[in-house]
Structure 1
């Protein structure tokens, strides 16, 4: 029994040394993924988490197009017979929120993240192979209200490659950032109204989506300074 006791004690001493880092290295868990930095707001309570790796659940409503899970991600496709972009929506009542997801253009001319109230569109981010646009939407169709483009950013969004979009909505302001780099933002009183759902749309061919997260948006104490820097930076073309 004596050799066994020595072996066990030595093992315990080795484990203690590893934990203390006294052997020159430490043992730690794998690093958690780093979330893209936010600018306008800070992440609060998680409101929705969906990896989009299975067919749309009952919480999602497919309005147009074909939506299915392919290779661990959603694949949405516009159908010519619909004569309308592919659309899928999720009910979510909120005032301020941060949306984050990854997308891939699979031949689509355009895909959007659309934010809506009970009756009309409120705002959206439009993503195309040559860049993206952040805008307040037309809120009354044939009435006097018109869409207002806050910013159009020219940057390559290569088909077949995954990109990450973060959209922040706080008060009357909204901001979109692509891959933690390119930024567009603006403000309008309509942005500050209560929202009731959001969704993805696809114009032409198809696109893929994965890793959707939605958080409550909280004020960012550095936003005023960041906003001033963005305003004085070279305008996006």
Structure 2
């Protein structure tokens, strides 16, 4: 085979590989796949009223037709916020959610356990908007200038309203991997490898629906 033919064949094979390959950030869904060496510690399908592990901070949160609905209340002058009490460390978290046409942002995140960090405020969140999503380390409210909010990873993949989306998040020490449908973000921060006593759900705007919340704690 002459050099020109060889180069032509290699170019054709490369083109074929590119056609059938996925972008680096695209992944297959692992939703509802139990991780190895783990214990299922949260399994919320909202078949009944919210239990005593749920704590409503602001906004309106209620179960309707087997789905948790959250809405911001303008009188609160704060995003709707609810917490579920469960102690996690290295873990896998998953949920399904649906934005409405009036949803400005949906947050799923964590607080640090008391005594774990010299910090006031949330630890980090996955923040979803109609135009994309991101992982953000939250500000230390005692040191706003020195330690502000920081977006560590982001995607401009649109998140359509009025359809269900799957979110799955893994924490392992300071490392975080989050998959939203088939798009994945990875990041790390030295403050993330702490105990987390709650799951934090927040909604800015007119509504988010949440279902099928599961958490697996990794067995060491």
Q: TM-score range by the shorter chain?
A: 0.7 to 0.9
The residue matched to 1:109 in structure 2 has which SS?
A: strand
Task: State the 1:141 CA deviation.
Answer: 4.5
The residue matched to 1:45 in structure 2 has which SS?
A: strand
Q: Which has the larger radius of gyration?
A: 1
Task: State the 1:139 CA deviation.
Answer: 2.9
Structure 2 length normalisation: TM-score? 0.77
Residues 95 and 192 of structure 1 are in contact (CA less than 8 Å); yes or no, is this contact kept in structure 2? yes
| Equivalent position of 1:115 in the other structure | 110
Specify which structure has the higher proportion of helix: 1
| Equivalent position of 1:23 in the other structure | none
Deviations 1:97-123 (A, max 9, x none): 111000000221101002111353111
2:45 to 28, 51, 59: 51
- In 2, the alpha carbon distance for the partners of 1:202 and 1:43 equals 33
| Equivalent position of 2:159 in the other structure | 157
Matched, 1:60 2:54: yes
Task: State the 1:43 CA deviation.
Answer: 6.3
State the superposition RMSD in angstroms.
2.1
- In 2, the alpha carbon distance for the partners of 1:50 and 1:94 equals 16
The residue matched to 1:121 in structure 2 has which SS?
A: coil
Residues 55 and 67 of structure 1 are in contact (CA less than 8 Å); yes or no, is this contact kept in structure 2? no
Structure 1 gap segments, 5+ residues each: 1-33, 220-237
In the alignment of these two chains, the number of paired residues is 183
Structure 2 gap segments, 5+ residues each: 1-28, 115-119
| Equivalent position of 1:104 in the other structure | 98
Task: State the 1:36 CA deviation.
Answer: 2.2
- In 1, the alpha carbon distance for the partners of 2:152 and 2:36 equals 21
Task: State the 1:73 CA deviation.
Answer: 0.3
Deviations 1:141-161 (A, max 9, x none): 444212221211011211110
Q: 1:122 to 1:104 in 2, by over 3 A?
A: same
Residues 83 and 201 of structure 2 are in contact (CA less than 8 Å); yes or no, is this contact kept in structure 1? yes
Q: 1:213 to 1:84 in 2, by over 3 A?
A: same
Structure 1 length normalisation: TM-score? 0.72
1:80 to 74, 77, 80: 74
Q: Please show how residues 165-204 of structure 1 align to structure 2 within 5 Å.
A: 165-179=167-181, 181-204=182-205
- In 1, the alpha carbon distance for the partners of 2:32 and 2:179 equals 9
